[in-house]
Structure 1
């Protein structure tokens, strides 16, 4: 098993409690359905911060990276629905990474997700990739885990979209690491070591690693939403 495609769109944002109920309704019943109706979108999964805070992590699995610059997708990004237009300004601190899949082991839908954002040190891309593959591959068989996936951002050559302008612009994460499982304690242990900042630095990552723990909110494939 692996991610459903060769690319992924990974996103983080904060959603205030006073709009969270409407956000959940919109995102589940309109936005997921709209995106998964587009060619190349295979699965959508949303997690919420495990501590009950405002953080949201979202991943779309895609056939190929070219999906991110397809005419039909860009048409939606540049002509959001009235409900989307109303909700977009509430996506605070948006980080949006348009990624190639570098490595994918096991499943991607589980109760908990450990998500890390990082960058390789100059010249350390190959060493970091090799080290992470060695760490991630066995996690599929580790009690408490079901899958691990490594992504790398590459922005498609497109102009800023209407949705981005409504949000006020997006940041991006260079490399994205997602570990999913059913035991929160196991993922917390991985976040301390061997996927803690110091261990990753020794493997070739820059020290400014960002780590978060999330719990599953909703996941659907294109077939399920069709």
Structure 2
């Protein structure tokens, strides 16, 4: 089956090396379980980067019915009431990036142990063509490869993201541009690396500069669902 809805919260986080043991225990024993029972949430997964030069070490995804579930007033209220353990661990984040995305193309099939994550900022004039390219050519090719299980396109919804920032008392950055994230699931690291390279070739062929693609390979750590 595909994803559990058309909304997805994504977080990219890091903590200091001396805090990683507690960070991982908190994520596996409290945070994931807490989130999947929030309004609109269905499944959560978390991963660790396998390359030491990755821009952000840890990635997590939370599947929701729609992206608007990530602006639900009940969810917003719960964001303002964190457990003592959550407050302690979150205060130690050295990197944190939060995206609230709409899944505009879903050609996934379950989930596996390896994930390719590619982030980029397409120009408005490129978006329709890129969606068509991914839907009709790139995803069908990549998901048909040996040990590959599918992929999806997530487009960050800035309006929903800003509602979350405001609910947490954080400033809304000016001049934001919608970010796109492509997730590729595969059964082996090698398969995902090859697929991620194929994705990059296709995006570059469509006019995106290689340097504009932020590409990371992640290995699965833990997940849960309702």
Equivalent of 1:218 in 211, 217, 222: 222
| Residue number in structure 1 paired with 2:57 | 55
Aligned match of 1:140 in 123, 140, 143?
143
**Aligned residue pairs, count:** 218
Q: Counterparts of 1:13 and 1:129 in 2: how far apart (Å)?
A: 28
CA–CA separation in structure 2 for the residues paired with 1:213 and 1:137: 20
Distance in 1 between residues matched to 2:215 and 2:4, nearest whole Å: 24
The residue that corresponds to 1:189 in the other structure is: 194
Contact kept in structure 2, 1:144 and 1:181, CA below 8 Å: yes
What is the CA-CA distance between 1:204 and the residue it aligns to? 4.3
Q: Counterpart of 1:199 in 2: which secondary structure?
A: helix
- C-alpha change, 1:172 and 1:11, in structure 2 (3 Å) is farther
Which structure 2 residues correspond to residues 1-226 of structure 1 after superposition, within 5 A? 1-51=1-51, 55-133=57-135, 134-155=137-158, 156=160, 158=163, 160-161=165-166, 163=168, 165=170, 174-192=179-197, 194-196=198-200, 199-205=202-208, 207=210, 208-222=212-226
8 A Cα contact 1:98 1:154, kept in partner: yes
**1:158 counterpart SS class:** helix
- Write the distance in 2 (CA, Å) between the matches of 1:65 and 1:23: 27
The Cα RMSD (Å) is 2.4
Asked if the contact 2:166–2:172 (Cα under 8 Å) also holds between the matched residues in 1, the reply is: no
**TM-superposed deviation, 1:89:** 2.4
Rate the CA distance shift 1:164–1:86 in 2: closer, same or farther, 3 A.
farther
Give the whole-Å Cα distance in 2 for the aligned partners of 1:16 and 1:179. 28
What's the offset of the Cα at 1:202?
Answer: 2.4
SS of residue matched to 1:129: helix
Deviation, 1:37, is 1.2
Provide the C-alpha distance between the structure 2 equivalents of 1:151 and 1:10, rounded to a whole number of angstroms: 10
Provide Cα deviations, 1:117-164, integer angstroms capped at 9, x if missing partner.
012124111001111112012333321211201100013152635657
Q: TM-score, normalised by structure 2?
A: 0.87
Give the secondary-structure state (helix, strand or coil) at the position aligned to 1:160. helix
- Call closer, same or farther: CA 1:29–1:172 in 2, change over 3 Å: farther
